[in-house]
Amino acid sequence: MSFYRNAVWFVKGLQEYTKSGYEAAAKQFNTGDLDVNLSGRSFVITGANSGIGKATAHEIAKRGGIVHLVCRNKERAQEAKEELVEHTKNQNVHVHIVDMSSARQVWEFAESFSKSNSIHVLINNAGCMVNQKELTEEGVEKNFATNTLGTFILTTALIPALKQAQDPRVITVSSGGMLVQKMKVDDLQSEKGTFDGTMAYAQNKRQQVILTERWASQHKEIHFSSMHPGWADTPAVQLSMPDFHAKMKNKLRTESMGADTVVWLAVSAVASNQPSGLFFQDRMAVPTHLPLALTRSSPADEEKLQAILEQLAHKNPNQPSRLAL
């Protein structure tokens, strides 16, 4: 079954996830969807100093939004801020230094941010693909800590603030790679068998999609969505998947192409009129499972995922007493 999933997914990817796939899809885009004035709206973007996150920040800043760059590296974040301000002439660009793999840092940021800032849109873009097994200082597998647990804590911690805003939205940048994975709820941190960073990442991306669906059902006041940016030529892809990048570099999307649907989901009126909880690719809701791939989880397993994450989040001594679940 895994061979079938991978073969179907790769053929699909060559047709849809590449630069030519984007160009074909873009013929159906309504360019007016992004003709918006974002003055007064506040956007929190994780992993925003490069790649898709930076491209997203640029498009939002260009339209007058208040942009909060949540980044791990202070120097690169400051460089990104200066570049954004220079290119967009928008002075409302702010830097916050947070390691998304650290539950303590994510809690502290969410708490302090909520006290002094408003938030209309959260864009969960930060991610990592560590190919050698590595644990954080808190003893959590690095990919899972960043991609899943960090995203879970930040989102749930900011839900009360989001509910105070007009037209609040949460967009999570997932990956089409999750289509080849069925969630392994009894091995969320990839502890069984030989560690494979690519598969761990794909598992995390499946977990993100499931969380998006659950949040949408639990918090009706907020519009949730997840999305696949396609195969984009970003620093993260170059670093984490060098062989794939070398073979596919002439077919890969630009960072702006990868960011297009993130921006569309974050700012357009038509996106917020879509049902909450869906998975998007090139401005269209698409299935979260390949045909006959047997990747669906039971409702009980999806509930268990959220329960485990809540338990892990509560292990941190600096968190608030109650998550927004």
Task: Enumerate the active-site residues.
Answer: 201
Phi, psi of 92 (to 5 degrees): -85, 55
- Find tokens 């089409």 and name the residue: 176
Contacts of 210 (CB under 8 A, 6+ apart): 183, 297, 302, 305
Distance CA 136, CA 68 (A): 25
Neighbours of 115 (CB within 10 A): 8
Q: Which residues contact 219 (CB under 8 A, 6 or more apart)?
A: 159, 163, 324
CB 129 within 8 A of CB 197: yes
CB atoms within 10 A of CB 36: 17
- By DSSP bridging, strand 169-173 and strand 121-124 are parallel
118, exposed or middle or buried, with CB in 10 Å at 0-12, 13-18, 19+? Answer: middle
Alpha carbon separation from 263 to 5, 33, 68, 173, 187 (Å, rounded):
29, 10, 15, 11, 33
Report d(CA 145, CA 171) in Å as an integer: 19
Residue 49's SS3 state is coil
